[in-house]
Amino acid sequence: MTFIFIYGTLLPGLRLEAQMGGARFVAAAQVLGRLVDVGRYPGFLQGDGLVTGEVYEVDELHLARLDVVEDMVPGDRAASQYWREQVTVAAGQLHGQPVQTYVYKRPVDGCTAIAHGDYRRYIREVGRES
């Protein structure tokens, strides 16, 4: 089993939430990083801010399906849109727990920063559907 931190369209109530079916919710959490708006979804980048999301426990088959959803090409970081990396929970009941998350690997020039790091809040603020 793997702990995965999600922060965007996979969250409950958002466009790709069905992809998390069968995953076990563990806790709300924040990790160090920053978000940018890259179109119909956010991109997570390493950084000094806090990104708000949720941690789930998934098995290896589920993780492999999420890799496909996130356009991660196993063994080829350069060809991947997102790459699954380990981060550490910075806030919440899982503080200090290592988890995996999907880090955006494409250029972000011209993308809007999501300064507060909360994608659900951001899409409400800009009036966008998930």
DSSP state of 81: S
pLDDT score of 130 = 62
> For residue 90, is pLDDT > 90?
yes
pLDDT score of 128 = 76
pTM: 0.95
pLDDT score of 5 = 98
Read off the pLDDT of each residue in 28-48 and give the average, rounded to a whole number.
Answer: 95
Supply the CATH classification number for the domain 2-126: 3.10.490.10
- Residue 84's nearest CA partner among 104, 108, 65, 98 is 104
For the record, the structure tokens of 1 come out as: 């089993």
> For residue 6, is pLDDT > 80?
yes
For tokens 């800009």, what's the residue? 126
Percent of the chain at pLDDT above 90?
A: 92
Q: How far is 97 from 3, CA to CA, in rounded Å?
A: 9
Which residues share a beta bridge with 113? 36
Percent of the chain at pLDDT above 70?
A: 99
- Residue 100's nearest CA partner among 38, 26, 48, 49 is 26
What does 14-28 look like in DSSP terms, one character per residue?
STTGGGGTTPEEEEE
Domain spans in the chain, listed from the N-terminal domain onward: 2-126
- Residue 25's nearest CA partner among 121, 94, 96 is 94
